[in-house]
Every structure is written in C-alpha cells, then in structure tokens.
Structure 1
Amino acid sequence: MKRVVVIGAGMAGARVAEELRQGQPDPALLAVTVLGSEPEAPYNRIMLSHAVAGGPAGGPAPTARLKPQGWWARNHIRLRTATPVRCIDRVTREVELADGERIAYDHLVLATGAAPRVPPIEGILAPDGALKPGVSTLRDAADARGLTAHLSAHPGPVALIGGGFIGLEVACALAAAGHDVVVVHPRAWPMNGCLDAAGGAVLVRALGALGVRVVTGARATRWDGSVLTLGDDDEVDCRTVVLTAGSGPRTELARAAGLEVGHGVVVDDTLATSDRAISAIGDCAQHRGVVSGLVAPAWDQAVTVAARLTGADPDARYTGGTTVTRLKAFGLDVVALGEVAEDVFADGPGGASGADGPGAAPEITTICEPARGRYARVDVSCGRVVGAILVGHPEPVGILTQVYENALPVPDDVLSVILGRAEAVAAPTPSTMPAAAVICRCNGVSKGDLVAAWGDGARDRSALVERTRAGTGCGGCTSAVDGICGWLREAG
C-alpha cells in the first residue's frame, strides 16, 4: 500500500485527493489522508464574499461544499478536519499533529494555501497581535462568520483595504446588501495587476454606479474604531474594516522542514519540492518563479501530481497554464485573460502596432464606453489572442476565453468578436471543444466531467449540476452547461 498524506483541505487539497482516488480506486493499494485545520469539510472559498452578504449565518452554505455529504467516506478518503499539523519529520516520513499524534506517509502533498496579508495600520491589532473587533480578513469560513456577525451588530459604513479581485467582490456584495462601502487602494486604479489604466478608470466608474466608492493612490495609516485615517489625512467613517490587501503563501511547515522556499515552496515541473517524497500545489507552491494564486492552476497541478503518484501518467509535467481572472460580482462582470502589453497608445491613438511576428508588438483593439461602464481590449499576436480585458462586456467572454485557452485563430476583424458576433470566429462547440476544457471554473468541472456524469446516468441539466456542481458557483457557466447538456441529449 502507498500512503499519501495531503496537508490542507482547501480547494487544491480536495482536488488532489479526488484525482488520486480516481486514478487508483482500490484503497488497499492507495491510502489517501487529507488533514485540514478548519472544522468544515472542503468548500468553495470563491463563494465566501457572497456568503458574507447573504445572511446571518455566514461561512459556506451547504451548496458551497465541494462534495456532497458522505462522499469522502464512500470514496475511501480519510478526511480529518480540525486537525492542524505541527511539523514534518522528513527522516521518518511522518507528520506530527498539534496533539502529538504522528501519521506516516510514503508521499506528502503540501496544499497549505495562503494567509491574508495584514497591512501596517495603527489601531487594528490588539495587544496579543490578534485583529481587533471590527477588523476582519476574509480567507476562510471563520472569517466569514465573524464578519457577518459584526456587520449584523454594527451595520454602519464598511472600508475595504485593497482593491484586488477579492476586495471588489466583497465590496459589491456588501453594497448590494445595503451597506455604505469604501474601497481604499494604494495604486492608481483597482485590479491594477490585471487591468490597464483605461480599464481601471471605467471600472471605478462602474463601481460608483453600484454604490462602491473607490479611493485610489491612498494608504490607510490609522483606525480608531470609527474613523480610518489615510496617508494624506483624509478620513473615512467606518465601524468595520475588511483587510483584502492580498495574501502570501503559507510556507512555515515547509521552511521548518528544511525544504527550499522562495516566495513559495519551490517546485519543479513534476511539482516535487527539494525532497522528492514531498510535492506542493496551489497557493503555497512556487513554480518557475511564480505563485499563481488562482484556482485553475492549482487544479491542473493536482491532476499532474495524482497522475504521477497513481501511475496513470508517470511522466506527467506541469509547465504552467493560461491565466483567466474573472470578477463576477453583483451587477459587475470583469474578465482578464493572459497579459496585455504596456503603453497601449505609445504609437498614437490607434494603439501599438507592428510586424506580425515573434517579439513584435501585438495588434490592440479597444472599445471604451465610460458612461455605460463598458471597456474592452483584445491584444492579438501572430493571429492568436495573447491578452484581453473586458469590463461590463459579458457577450464575448465565452468565445474569447475558449479562443485564448485553446490558442485558436481569430479573424482580422477583432471588433466583431468583441461585439459578440459569434459567427465571426471559429469558436469551439460542445462537440469540438476538448474534454479537458474547463466549463465551470468555480468548481473545476471540465467538459469531460460533464460527459462522464451523463454516462453515469445524470441525464438532464439538474442531474448534471447535482452530480458535478457545475453552475453552483458564480453562475457564469450556465449557458455553457446548457449547451453541453443539449449536445449530449441530441447525441443520444
């Protein structure tokens, strides 16, 4: 029997356990143990921002569970919640739990995730170093419960520190629930890691229309329980402060065990650490110098590790993946694909241009409608989409995502694609898209997963959703799920 122990019961840890059991169904040949520090079974963290605004309970709703009740036991995966790990003994190949119990492993997978960053703001920490009442992060279910309870007792203005992906999702959810919301962001525009200046400006205007005020180029310096002071002595009234200023990989266990650690736990293309008996995936892993921080790469890494450990593909490698970031908030849709070039208008109002060859500047097409809260930009190089930004432009999201992820050619008239004219591009259909194409990013459901569920008896849309959980996240994949369901029905 090979014993695989996974430290971390988040979305990456849960996925690698699932892939391991799928690759080797016999528990007598492969024992899988998942150790999670939280009391909850694995759940969809992406939905925490919606949970905070959704009701007094907070935390993950039953629909946010990654697997239905009893699934782990039925699949012979030993899931231990509320089980923090104290240290790793690489000599004996054991992990020691907080209560002193030791668990042996033949291979260890680190899926420890990331911890929220706490910016240096005077007045937010208690003498013991904990966050003061009224100050919260939003990384796990406990954070969600605490924040929900505080907002119920103190329904006044809310300030969010950081205008990234998570910060804006929380801000929009709270604004939709009737809270007065201000986002304080140190950069010139929110989501500056994904958007260009024009897209950021349109986003600020769109957020304002939803009741979210954004203060850019400012840092919070002090909070006295009711007033947040900014660096320029501007003040923001707020009884609640939510810290959404990014996160950092949890590397404490790996570092203490003597593994190579950079920004994250350093891994190679096999996802192995400096100890070949230990792998790392997800938010804690640094691959080719990059810590992705996104769910889709973590799941791809989980598939690679499981394929190697079960023997399904001993030569499996993870070489990186496409970057797709989607903000699906209340009344706001923002998508960023790949990387866009800098200095859009460096060559004049028409955008950058040049010879269409390797290393040449991409052809850039933009549509900007600030009054309507809409902005679109597509960068094309060698006939392929290399980057795109869509703010308030949901029509072409599906086509552009598939074209980008599958490196499909785009027509010369890129504007027609932005305007949602599907016939202008050879977009993949349910019958032509690859089985590995991800349909539901919130739950990591591929076309192949839907086809397999259909073959197992889930013969309508509701059954497919129940079996795979596709569409139970942000809802952005609903039309794609419907399309595949229709295709499967017609195929008989």
Structure 2
Amino acid sequence: MSAAAGPGRPTPGAPPGPTGPQVRRHVVIVGAGMAAARLAEELRAGEPDPTRLAVTVLGAEAEEPYNRIMLSHAATAPAGPTATPIARLKPTGWWDRHHITLRTSTPVQAIDRATSEVELADGERIGYDHLVLATGAAPRIPPVDGIRSPGGGLAPGVFTLRDAAGQRELTAHLAAHPGPVAIVGAGFIGLEVACALAAAGHDVVVVHPRAWPMNGCLDAGGGAVLVRALTALGVRVVTGARATGWDGATLTLDDDEVYCRTVVLTAGSAPRADLARDAGLEVGHGVVVSDELTTSDPAISAIGDCAQHRGVVSGLVAPAWDQAVVLAARLAGTHPHAEYVGGVQVTRLKAHGLDVVALGALADDVYGSAGGADEATEVTTLCEPARGRYARVDVSAGRVVGAALIGHPEPVGTLTQLYENALPVPDDVISVILGRAEAVAAPTPSTMPATAVVCRCNGVSKGDLVAAWGDGARDRDALAASTRAGTGCGGCSAAVEGICGWLAAAG
C-alpha cells in the first residue's frame, strides 16, 4: 500500500488542525489505471493546495498506476529478477510530493450514496464530496469448455492480459512452457501479443471468429493484406473459427485443433460497472454519463473504459484522458462549465514488424445495396498485398471521416492532423497516402499546434514538450524524464527528437 499523508497535510475526512484551514472538497477516485492517474494529476494541477482540494485514489491492484498499453510487449520479456519492469506512469515519490493519497491493494466493495461514502473490502469507510468511478474494463471470457478451473478462475495455461499480475503470470508460464501459443481474438491487443510472441521465437496461432482480423477497424481488403503481413511475420491466422474446448494441451476449434500449452484470451472487454449498478446508478453497456461526465447521481462521475457517453464506451486511452481533463477542470474549478462531447478515434498497432493505424470509422457499404456509389462518402484505396501495404481513406464533405493504413507510415502524421482537426482534404487523396509534399504540408515542429498529441501512450502534446523545455529539460532524455514522452511504445521517438532539435535551433 502507498499513502501520501505527509507532514502538515490533512487526512481526508478528518477535522481541520488547529492552525490549518479546513479541506474544502474531497474527491475520491475508485480505480488506479491510466484514466484515474491522469485525473488525479489534472486535479492537483488545477488546485495545487491540498487543504482546498483533497484527492484520494483507491486502486485494487498492488501496483502504482502503470502503462497498461505496454503489457503485451512486457509479456515476452525474460522472467525472474532481471525481468523488464512495468512502466509506471509516475516516478517514485511523485504521489507524496503532489499531496495525493494513493492507496493500492484497496478494492472498493460498495458505494453508500446516502452517506456519501465508499466501503472498502475490509469494512473501512471513506467519505467523499465527489466520487469518480474509473474502474476500467474486465476481459471477456469466451464460452469455451474447460477454459475455467473448478474454482471459477482460468484453467492452468490460460491467461488474459489486462493487468500486471496477468502479464507476470503469462511471462512465467512461457518460460516454463516455451511451446506453441494460441491467441483467441484478433483485435489490437491480440495482434500485439501475437507479434511480440512470434518475434520472441514462439510458434503463434491466432483464432478469430470473424472473416478477417481487426474487423472493427479494417474492411475486407485491409483484412486480407493484414493476414498476409502476419503470415510473413510467422503468425498463423485462423479466421471464421471459434474455440470450443481446452484440455490443457489442445485448443479445439469448430472444425480444427491447435496443439499448444498456452492460450491467451484477447476476445474483448466489458466495462466494470457492478459498483455503479449495485448503487442504483444508471448503467447501460457501461456507466451512463452526461456531457458533464456525471452519472445519474450528480455527486458521482465516471470516466474511461467503464463510462458510456452518448451511447459509446470508447475503450481507448486518448478519450479517457480527454475525459479526465474535462472532469478535472470542472471539479477543480478552473473551467466549471467544461463539457466532453466525444473524442476522436485514433489507434495504432504497436507490433514488431507491423504498422497498422486506424482513424475514425470506415463506411460499412460505400457502394450501396444496389451497387451504386454512395455519394456521401468518397473512398480511396491503395492495395499492394505482396508488399504488405494497404491504405483506405474515407472522405465526407471534404473531411477525413475514417482511414485504415497497413504498412504505410508516411501519411500517418498528415492524415491524423487532417482527421483530428477536421481540415479540408486535398483533391488528390492518393498523393496524401503516398506522402508527397505537394499534396499537403506535412506537420513540422513549427506548424504543429500546441495541442497536437506527440506521444499517445502518455498523452503528451507539443505544448507539454515546449513547457518542459522551458523548465530546463534540454534534450530528448530529459524531455522523456519530465513528460514520459517516448517511454511507452517508442513510436513517437523521432517526433520528440525533431521537436527537441527545433527548440534547440530556436534558442
């Protein structure tokens, strides 16, 4: 357990000291994931005085908040004392220094709305003025015979990868059983795990019930190219098949078998909404929230993977962080009327030897049921299966509304800028895909807006890097230490280096 009760600091819920002012408000955050950590950070930035705003974070895991995005890569690291540590979001002592009470290994079992208290698993009660649910999501366990042990947990050899404990268990098991691995589910996480395991020398089979992998982000053409690219990396993909049974050595499919000692379940996730439901809050697919991010109880909010906003549960870290910023502005009083109206969907597959980016949503049927083109959406595709390259860009009313890119890193920055900022798309979309300078000016350090996100893993913008430079972080390593940019998947390292060079040249 980690707590941040320092000298001269009031204990949440306790009466004021003889010389100190009374705590004005106490915000309690249930959950200690990436959304919760960002909210706590933004709350303290908005109100630095802990005697005016107390912040308590209650996490069920034993770990301090860490980068869940990188668990798939950490899973293939060697087990034991030299194992790669999880990437914590804050350095040692940060929570204490910023007067935020962080309690790990502290699951919450109930919310008492009548008394404005949460009840912990050991019976302790903690009062709140405002409660925030950031409980995340739980892995979906598909209905496979033998996948669960008699006690209700997962059977030996079966793992999920939603938390650090699961990652460590998988890593240890792989060290003891280095044979073939079956991945059930071919979404972003499943393919990241598959590619990481293949790169580490494992024989990997991905089983997916749909007609092509990443069917939620790609069309059929992109899916076919992705299968070829995965095959070239040593990952076998079985589509249109469901796992039906597991006996510890064989994963049985509808009409096939996969011999393996390890099964990793990456078949999606479900919002953790039980606390809210048991407390009588409105729950749909997730905890229903308004544009103000409040639930059906105005004293309780929800953000991140557990929250359902305008009918959508995002499941991505960037919208969760956007929600954290908005809610912190409201609770800290820096922008009391801030609202969250939805975030942009930008996801990048962080896999060894494979570059896949999805923006927005692709139109389902761009040619219409009668075979005629849908005039509302213009679709441009570029397909090179033998080279493992595919690009599709959907444009409506002159703006990018969706895109899928495989093996096309050149236009990612430009298309992301066009999509996120709803900028007009040049007439020659093919030139944009090919990354030609004459199509549209590629974003440079000088032309990027301050709000442009450079490091998506840690939510670091260009403005954050400029501010850190002004505070004395004068090289890439120092910028990384100050902002954590580049400490996630590493995909932004070149961009951080470019901004560093630009700042140095500017003096």
TM-score, normalised via structure 2 length? 0.93
Are the equivalent residues in 1 in contact too, given 2:137–2:271 (CA < 8 A)? yes
> Does residue 301 of structure 1 match 2:323?
yes
Are the equivalent residues in 1 in contact too, given 2:379–2:392 (CA < 8 A)? yes
In 2: Cα distance, 1:175 partner to 1:58 partner: 23
Are the equivalent residues in 2 in contact too, given 1:352–1:364 (CA < 8 A)? no
2:229 matched residue in structure 1: 206
1:357 matched residue in structure 2: none
User: Map of 1:53-452 to 2, 5 A cutoff?
Assistant: 53-57=76-80, 61-62=84-85, 64-232=87-255, 234-344=256-366, 352=373, 354=375, 360=376, 362-452=377-467
Q: Which sits farther off after the overlay, 443-452 or 211-220?
A: 443-452
In 1: Cα distance, 2:206 partner to 2:240 partner: 11
Give the counterpart letter for 1:8 in structure 2.
G
Note the alpha carbon deviations across 1:138-178, whole angstroms, 9 max, x for none.
00000001011111111111101101110000000000000
Name the SS of the counterpart of 1:424 in structure 2.
coil
* Aligned-pair CA distance for 1:417: 1.0
Q: Alpha carbons of 1:63 and 1:130: their partners in 2 closer, same or farther (altered >3 Å)?
A: closer
* Aligned-pair CA distance for 1:60: 9.1
In 1: Cα distance, 2:399 partner to 2:442 partner: 13
Are the equivalent residues in 2 in contact too, given 1:57–1:145 (CA < 8 A)? no
* Aligned-pair CA distance for 1:431: 2.8
Name the SS of the counterpart of 1:146 in structure 2.
helix
Q: CA RMSD in A?
A: 1.7
Please point out which of 456, 459, 466 is paired with 2:471.
Answer: 456
Name the SS of the counterpart of 1:145 in structure 2.
helix
Please point out which of 21, 26, 41 is paired with 2:44.
Answer: 21
In 2: Cα distance, 1:9 partner to 1:326 partner: 24
Q: Which sits farther off after the overlay, 142-151 or 473-482?
A: 473-482
Give the counterpart letter for 2:210 in structure 1.
R
Q: Alpha carbons of 1:259 and 1:37: their partners in 2 closer, same or farther (altered >3 Å)?
A: same
* Aligned-pair CA distance for 1:343: 3.1
Are the equivalent residues in 2 in contact too, given 1:52–1:58 (CA < 8 A)? no
1:9 matched residue in structure 2: 32
Name the SS of the counterpart of 2:505 in structure 1.
helix
Are the equivalent residues in 2 in contact too, given 1:60–1:141 (CA < 8 A)? no
Q: Alpha carbons of 1:166 and 1:59: their partners in 2 closer, same or farther (altered >3 Å)?
A: farther
Are the equivalent residues in 1 in contact too, given 2:366–2:374 (CA < 8 A)? no
In 1: Cα distance, 2:494 partner to 2:374 partner: 35
In 2: Cα distance, 1:423 partner to 1:485 partner: 26
In 1: Cα distance, 2:369 partner to 2:357 partner: 25
* Aligned-pair CA distance for 1:59: 12
Give the counterpart letter for 2:325 in structure 1.
V
Q: Which sits farther off after the overlay, 338-347 or 308-317?
A: 338-347
In 2: Cα distance, 1:348 partner to 1:157 partner: 46
* Aligned-pair CA distance for 1:7: 0.5
In 1: Cα distance, 2:171 partner to 2:86 partner: 18
In 2: Cα distance, 1:187 partner to 1:453 partner: 45
Are the equivalent residues in 2 in contact too, given 1:44–1:60 (CA < 8 A)? no
In 2: Cα distance, 1:365 partner to 1:326 partner: 20
Name the SS of the counterpart of 1:21 in structure 2.
helix
Give the counterpart letter for 1:272 in structure 2.
T
In 2: Cα distance, 1:204 partner to 1:319 partner: 36
2:11 matched residue in structure 1: none
* Aligned-pair CA distance for 1:449: 1.2
> Does residue 476 of structure 1 match 2:488?
no
Give the counterpart letter for 2:346 in structure 1.
V
* Aligned-pair CA distance for 1:317: 0.2
Are the equivalent residues in 2 in contact too, given 1:119–1:245 (CA < 8 A)? yes
In 2: Cα distance, 1:57 partner to 1:133 partner: 20
In 2: Cα distance, 1:335 partner to 1:430 partner: 22
* Aligned-pair CA distance for 1:426: 3.4
Unaligned runs of at least 5 residues, structure 1: 355-359
* Aligned-pair CA distance for 1:40: 0.7
Q: What is the number of equivalent residue pairs in this alignment? A: 484
Are the equivalent residues in 2 in contact too, given 1:58–1:145 (CA < 8 A)? no
Are the equivalent residues in 1 in contact too, given 2:187–2:214 (CA < 8 A)? yes
2:17 matched residue in structure 1: none
Give the counterpart letter for 1:264 in structure 2.
G
Are the equivalent residues in 1 in contact too, given 2:289–2:308 (CA < 8 A)? yes
Give the counterpart letter for 1:413 in structure 2.
D
Q: Alpha carbons of 1:308 and 1:377: their partners in 2 closer, same or farther (altered >3 Å)?
A: same
* Aligned-pair CA distance for 1:347: 9.6
Q: Which sits farther off after the overlay, 407-416 or 329-338?
A: 407-416
Name the SS of the counterpart of 1:484 in structure 2.
helix
In 2: Cα distance, 1:369 partner to 1:422 partner: 22
Are the equivalent residues in 1 in contact too, given 2:78–2:84 (CA < 8 A)? no
Are the equivalent residues in 2 in contact too, given 1:59–1:143 (CA < 8 A)? no
Q: Alpha carbons of 1:58 and 1:16: their partners in 2 closer, same or farther (altered >3 Å)?
A: farther
TM-score, normalised via structure 1 length? 0.96
In 1: Cα distance, 2:125 partner to 2:38 partner: 24
Q: Alpha carbons of 1:82 and 1:59: their partners in 2 closer, same or farther (altered >3 Å)?
A: farther
